[in-house]
Structure 1
Amino acid sequence: MGGSIARGQPPQSLSEADANRYTDRFWWWLMPDTVKFVLVLAFLGGAVYGSAWALSHFPPEQTEIVKSLPSEKLRGK
């Protein structure tokens, strides 16, 4: 059983603490693809919804921008 590792199982030679770190570090790769897909869609949907909510509750304020133009640009020359 030296080189083969069952999916989601740490190697036999690791201590209990190392085994916990091994499984915690690789939880994303152990999840089914469908669950990953749903989590990514939920994250993106939440980001879009949160952005829309923030813009509706805190609309951007309009400010005047005053910039002087040289007379050459106003004359079109």
Structure 2
Amino acid sequence: MTTETYRVTGMTCGHCVTAVTEELTALPDVTSVTVDLVAGGTSDVTVESGTPLDRQDVVRAVDEAGYALA
């Protein structure tokens, strides 16, 4: 099990949290996503997975939700 925390910009509300969570949980081996929302700032998104994730996969998933890694 691995845990990584990513910094995500542009999130402002619960809908943003849901969108990012859905995209990240769709990645293979992801077991948990926790978002510490900082509305209008840079939020911490912690992802637990069975194996280490490729950063580019995380970048694409967050981008698909409409946001960007800081």
How would you bin the TM-score normalised by the shorter chain? under 0.3
**Larger relative CO (CA 8 A, sep 6+): 1 or 2?**
2
Alignment TM-score, normalising by the size of structure 1: 0.24
- Higher helix fraction (1 or 2): 1
Alignment TM-score, normalising by the size of structure 2: 0.26
Which of these two proteins has the greater Rg computed from alpha carbons? 1
